[in-house]
Amino acid sequence: GTKDRSADARNPNAHTIEILQKMCDYYARVNDTWRTLAYRKAIATLRRQPTRITTEDEAFRLPNIGRRLAAKIEEIACTNRLRRLEYANDEPLDRILELFLNVYDVGLSRANKWIAQGYRTLDDLRLKADLTPNQRIGVDHYDDLNSRIPRAEVAALFAYVRREAALLDPRVELLVGGSYRRGAESSGDVDIIVTRKGTSSSAELVPFLEELIAVLTRKGFLVATLAALHAQRPGKDGPGSKWHGCCVWRRIDFLLVPESEYGAALIYFTGNDIFNRSMRLLASKKGMRLNQRGLYKEVMRGKNRGKVTEGELLEGRDEKRIFELLGVKWREPWERWC
Ligand code: DCP
Ligand code: MG
Ligand code: MN
């Protein structure tokens, strides 16, 4: 999720941001990635403004806001609405598309197929559609899985997990990453990073997490598995050792991280995703490569551009050191909204 909306309430441009965010969601839905990105960047810029932006010229002078978006900002400020958004959302089918796209594990083509098959409601899906096990969870717990989790509840869920974890292995360290670490007032899910001093591979933590998941499931805390735990292949930059599921119908993710990769994983799992993308881009401009396992000296590429080596590891364990090596000023987690 990329819906860092809760921090906006006190912002002088809150209303404009809210409407631009809806437009952004609309473009994401119709797969217009270019406009989606443009809107996200503009929203990030507006979030940083200490005063209300009301005119096109004022908006256009800000970074990452083009002429047409600036005009829309003025329209919202003057009329309190955006005509483009209103006709985008008028379509009844568009509303159903949005309903279906909010089912866990459903993408645009799946949602469109269901509409073409004549399905219009969640009950249609429940009774008639051919659902994967994850999609069925998504339909059955639609409202819960689509509501944001208040910050205090994230803290309470985490406290419970940490207590059980400590009983299994007191050396294990847990931390909530994601939007919670960025200071959000509410989160889409609970992202838990798991590490232990002295580990150099996430495989060393797999038995612990298997046990933790078994205990939490037995106690009724974890109620569904969405992506089962799998070990990270050594030396590969794959998905990492992670587990996705639900606790009492809140989304919860675990990411296993060896101490040697802790800093890089913290950066990755704290986000947000646009911030991560810009850090990776910066690394590649400087002849380095950043992923969730570490910062590397640029990879050598062979004739067919295949990777010849992983590249020399410059830093993995220390978050601040990675910023330093990249030559960027340290940013606290709550300053990483973009
Ligand atoms: N992440 C990323 N790129 C992605 C998905 C995730 O870089 N495509 C990273 C950045 C995110 C972190 O993983 O901050 C956690 O992913 P979430 O989807 O849980 O996103 P957030 O925690 O940021 O937001 P939400 O409150 O919606 O969960
Ligand atoms: Mg999250
Ligand atoms: Mn997550």
CA of 180 to the centre of ligand 2 (A): 7
- Phi-psi category of residue 248: left, alpha or beta, with phi > 0 → left and psi -120 to 50 → alpha: left
Model pLDDT, residue 64: 95
Mean pLDDT across 63-82:
94
Q: Which residue has the higher pLDDT, 204 or 5?
A: 204
The pLDDT of residue 317: 95
Overall average pLDDT of the 38-48 stretch: 96
Label residue 128 by pLDDT band (50, 70, 90): very high
Which of 11-15, 177-181, 308-312 has maximum average pLDDT? 177-181
Q: What are the residues whose beta carbon lies below 5 Å from ligand 2 (ion)?
A: 178, 189, 191
Say whether pLDDT at 48 is over 50. yes
Predicted pLDDT of residue 88: 75
Tell me the C-alpha distance between 209 and 194, whole Å. 9
pLDDT higher than 50, residue 1 = no
Q: Residue 265 phi/psi, 5° resolution? A: -65, -40
pLDDT digits (tens, 9 = 90+) for 271-324: 999 999 999 999 999 999 999 999 999 866 656 655 556 689 999 999 999 999
Q: Which helix (H) or strand (E) holds 69?
A: helix 67-79
Calculate the CA dihedral of residues 259, 262, 265, 267 and round it to 10 degrees. Answer: 180
327 pLDDT higher than 80 = yes
Ligand 2 centroid–CA 17 distance in Å is 21
The ligand minimizing its distance to the Cα of 274 is: 1
User: Does position 267 have pLDDT exceeding 90, yes or no?
Assistant: yes
The reported pLDDT for the residue numbered 30 is: 78
Mutate to test the pocket of ligand 1, among 272, 278, 331 (most ligand atoms within 8 A of CB): 272
DSSP code of 333?
G
188-201 average pLDDT score:
97
151-168 vs 206-218: helix crossing angle, rounded to 10: 110
Q: Which residue has the least CA distance to atom 13 on ligand 1?
A: 269
pLDDT of residue 230 exceeding 80 = no
| Distance in Å, CA 179 to ligand 1 centroid | 7
* Averaged pLDDT for residues 332-336: 95
The model's confidence at residue 184, banded by pLDDT at 50, 70 and 90, is: very high
pLDDT at 265 over 70: yes
Count other Cβ atoms within 10 Å, centred on residue 20.
22
Helix (H, G, I), strand (E, B) or coil at 52: coil
- pLDDT interval class at 11 (50, 70, 90): confident
CA 337 to ligand 1 centroid distance, Å: 11
For residue 231, what pLDDT is reported? 57
Residue 207 pLDDT exceeds 80: yes
Ligand nearest to the CA of 272: 1
With residues binned 3-state (H G I as helix, E B as strand, rest as coil), the percentages for the chain, rounded to 5, are 50, 15, 35
Q: What is the mean pLDDT of residues 58-84?
A: 94
Angle at 86 between CA 84 and CA 90, to 5 degrees: 125
Question: What proportion of the chain, given as a percentage, has pLDDT over 90?
Answer: 79
Of the listed ligands, the closest to the CA of 148 is 1
What does the pLDDT read at residue 71?
96
Give distance in angstroms: CA of 81 to centre of ligand 3: 32
Region 91-120 average pLDDT: 91
Chain centroid, CA 283 distance in Å = 21
Tokens of 113: 């197929």
For residue 189, give the ligand 1 atom closest to its CA. 28
Ligand 1 atom at shortest distance from the alpha carbon of 273: 7
Q: Reply yes or no on whether the pLDDT at 3 is more than 60.
A: no
Of the ranges 78-82, 268-272, 295-299, 334-338, the best mean pLDDT one: 268-272
- Ligand 1 pocket test: pick from 104, 191, 277 the residue with the most ligand atoms within 8 Å of its Cβ: 191
Contact between 138 and 103 under an 8 Å Cβ cutoff? The reply is yes
- List all residues 6 or more positions away from 216 whose beta carbon is below 8 Å from its beta carbon: 161, 164, 222, 247
Strands across the sheet containing 172-176: 172-176, 190-196, 250-256, 241-247, 222-227
Q: Which of 270, 276, 279, 292 to mutate to test the pocket of ligand 1 (most atoms within 8 A of CB)?
A: 276
Residue closest to 229 by CA, chosen among 266, 255, 252, 196 = 255
Quick check: 115 and 148 in contact, CB under 8 A? no
Report d(CA 114, CA 130) in Å as an integer.
9
Q: Give the distance (Å) from ligand 2 centre to CA of residue 288.
A: 27
Counting ligands in written order, the one closest to the CA of 252 is 3
CB 31 within 8 A of CB 24: no
- Mean of pLDDT over the chain: 90
Closest CA to 171 of 125, 222, 138, 208: 208
Residues enclosing ligand 1, CB less than 6 A?
Answer: 1, 3, 178-179, 184, 187-189, 191, 268-273, 276
Question: Ligand 1, atom 12: nearest CA belongs to which residue?
Answer: 269
Enzyme catalytic residues: 72
Average pLDDT over residues 204-232: 91
Q: Which region among 25-34, 84-93, 144-153 has the lowest average model confidence (pLDDT)?
A: 84-93
Q: How confident is the model at residue 9 (pLDDT cuts 50, 70, 90)?
A: low
